[in-house]
Structure 1
Amino acid sequence: MQNATRVTGRMRSGHARPFAGASAWIISDGKAGHEALCRGVAEALGLAAEVKRVSPAGLWRALAPWGPVPPSEKFGTPHTPFAPPWPQIAIAAGRTTTPYIRALKKKAGLKTFTVVLMDPKTGPRTADLVWVPEHDRLRGPNVVVTLTAPHPLSPERLADLRARPSGAITALKSPRMAVLVGGPNDRYRYPKPVIDKLSETVRSLAGLGAGLMITASRRTPPELVATLDEVAREAGALFWKGEGPNPYPEFLANADAFLVTADSINMAGEAAATGRPIYVFEPEGGADKFTAFHAALRAKGVTRIAPDRFGGLDTWSYTPLYAADVIADEVEQRWQRRKSLLAGLT
């Protein structure tokens, strides 16, 4: 296990911060997606959180989330990574972090407010507060449910990036279209007909004169990367293929509209924080939770199904979805009630 640098919080406009100056831990399994969930909530709370990464091995990894913290880690004893003084708040995400947040809740008692992001599989009593997306089934009196997931791309951060775009972005034609491309996973497939279809969809956007900002992921098939690279060069578009600094936050902030592949719930959720139109491209396959998520976004007027070829671009707007603030508000309210209870007992 190793400790990482601290995550610096932000000030929410016009919002008092009950956790100002509070000590905080993020318990992380090292996965970037899980850590982003935690960072989003920590920053919305205005916390400077210490990241504690865990990596149990062998039997202890296999037993997670139901088993204990490996005894060799001596959880709660001096001179170990998890030792007093206990933080006022701890946030965790990921199966292998569950034993640690459960152990912390037991050791620290009411001194630490514990938060688990995503279903811990061990029940809502695992932590003081549990967040799950709408398409998950877990419910309970301490379970917070939102349509999109928390992330660090706050409205304030997007506004700041929008106020100072890079020269490469300002040089693009208007409207600017961010094309966020995922790839095959255990639910979606990208056979050649799908690759050809998506390539033609993107070409049609270029044909409309839109300024394209394209990103690929680690899952994007090489054949699709090559085709998109050709389209980008022909259209004078920006295309990030995983090399150099990631311009993804800048693309989100400065896009007038989006084309997002349906295989990534996170990309659609992050784009939804902008209030800008989102078209969703459906690869082959799917799963119930993805279908439910995308149907809910369409019902809220956030997204529309992408046409095979764009003959024009529609414009629409909606209230931006930013789950981190919703979760942070719930944490703050519950923490204030706990402080009042503790004060009444002294």
Structure 2
Amino acid sequence: MGQAGVDRRVTAPSSSRALTIWVVSDGRAGIENQALGLAEAVERLTPAEIAVKHVRWRPLFDRLPSAFKTPAMLAPTSDPLTAPWPDLWIATGRATLPLSTRVKAWSQGRTFVVQTQDPRWSNASYDMIVAPAHDGLSGDNVFEITGSPHRITPARIAQAAPAFADRIAPLPHPRVAVLIGGRSKAFDLTEAHAADLADQIADAVRASGGSLMLTFSRRTPEAARAVMTARLSDLPGWIWDGTGDNPLFGFLHYADHILVTEDSANMAAEAASTGKPVHVLPMIPLKSGDKFARLHDDLAERGATRPFDGTLDGWTYDPLAETERAARAVLEAMGTR
């Protein structure tokens, strides 16, 4: 299943009742939001009831290969997984694989099973795999999208924005949202590089007469966080320190420009769903970045992103709606099964 040939009409399973959807993950926000974002996109297209299920394996069994795990090995803190089974099972992450491959048998074939990301195990066992195109996954049940499914839509961030209006609305334009990632297998953010990025960002914001809205990732090294905070704190704006409600949606809603480090496929694709100019900040590569290069090439070809060149020139493009496109494909496949 590629990008072409998806009917823009919603084709829901024939039923007079709401679709039941289980969102299954180990509870980590970055993992859960992929499955939940896809479920919410389905719900926007057809009446549905979403239940979130968290599963964890007992420590003794966690490292076992997926093929050997059984529900009896789940930790007592896991949510119950019992009949009635859902119409649609959307799962993400390694912890869910032993369950995703079995739920169809448990439901006697009634449940449609979707796995996001590349499962890397028993890939033919799922009705559909919604995978990032830059992963290069192929198969009859693979539906490729740019980036990963997520929860960000213009309507959703607009709904969340009023909670932060008192703090953000008075800030001068252009308002520059800056999303900083951190160390990963492919990239690093050293203190020296963070200082250099901070100086470039500060120069651009000052030259424009605008303001800054900055948030860090959990992966941002403390030294990088400290040096960027120190060098940017005199600008008009808000550097979120992690206390209180996360203002990310407010930042995205009120931003005129979005700057995002290149290390996170999710952050770049989410930012591109706003339709606002997305400037990509370079990181220090630790190994070949072919996958990330493919993603950023895709975003650039769509007109969503450009490398940050120290200026805040604007441009327009059609906001990415890849999660909704995947949701339509799920409903289409369920309707034809």
Higher RCO (CA < 8 A, seq sep 6+): 2
Summarize deviations over 1:193-246 as a string: whole Å, max 9, x none. 312211111211231222111001222222332233234431121111211110
Matched, 1:25 2:13: no
| Alignment correspondent of 2:314 | 315
Percent of residue pairs identical: 34
Name the CA distance, whole Å, in 1 between partners of 2:80 and 2:71.
13
In the TM superposition, 1:3-22 aligns within 5 A as 21-22=18-19
Name the CA distance, whole Å, in 2 between partners of 1:138 and 1:167.
45
Shift of 1:38: 0.8
Name the CA distance, whole Å, in 2 between partners of 1:253 and 1:73.
40
Name the CA distance, whole Å, in 2 between partners of 1:273 and 1:84.
36
Shift of 1:126: 2.1
Shift of 1:17: 6.2
Name the CA distance, whole Å, in 2 between partners of 1:234 and 1:58.
47
Name the CA distance, whole Å, in 2 between partners of 1:243 and 1:164.
15
Q: Please report the RMSD computed on the Cα atoms of aligned residues, expressed in angstroms.
A: 2.3
**2:152 match: secondary structure:** coil
Amino acid corresponding to residue 214 of structure 1 in structure 2: L
**1:234 match: secondary structure:** coil
| Alignment correspondent of 1:327 | 326
Matched, 1:69 2:66: no
Summarize deviations over 1:20-75 as a string: whole Å, max 9, x none. 6222211111221110001101111113322221111346322343333244559x
- The alpha-carbon distance between structure 1 residues 318 and 204, as it changes in their structure 2 partners (threshold 3 A), is same
Amino acid corresponding to residue 54 of structure 2 in structure 1: R
In the TM superposition, 1:92-107 aligns within 5 A as 92-107=91-106
Query: Does the Cα contact within 8 Å between 2:189 and 2:224 map onto a contact in 1?
Result: no
Structure 2: 5+ residue stretches without partners: 1-8
**1:45 match: secondary structure:** helix
Matched, 1:185 2:203: no
- The alpha-carbon distance between structure 1 residues 162 and 240, as it changes in their structure 2 partners (threshold 3 A), is closer
Summarize deviations over 1:249-292 as a string: whole Å, max 9, x none. 11111111111111111111110001111111111115221122
TM-score of the pair, normalised by structure 1: 0.85
| Alignment correspondent of 1:83 | 82
Name the CA distance, whole Å, in 2 between partners of 1:237 and 1:48.
39
| Alignment correspondent of 2:278 | 278
- The alpha-carbon distance between structure 1 residues 22 and 120, as it changes in their structure 2 partners (threshold 3 A), is same
In the TM superposition, 1:88-167 aligns within 5 A as 88-161=87-160, 166-167=165-166
Name the CA distance, whole Å, in 2 between partners of 1:222 and 1:301.
33
Name the CA distance, whole Å, in 2 between partners of 1:58 and 1:88.
31
| Alignment correspondent of 1:236 | 236
Query: Does the Cα contact within 8 Å between 1:60 and 1:67 map onto a contact in 2?
Result: no
| Alignment correspondent of 1:199 | 198
Matched, 1:55 2:56: yes
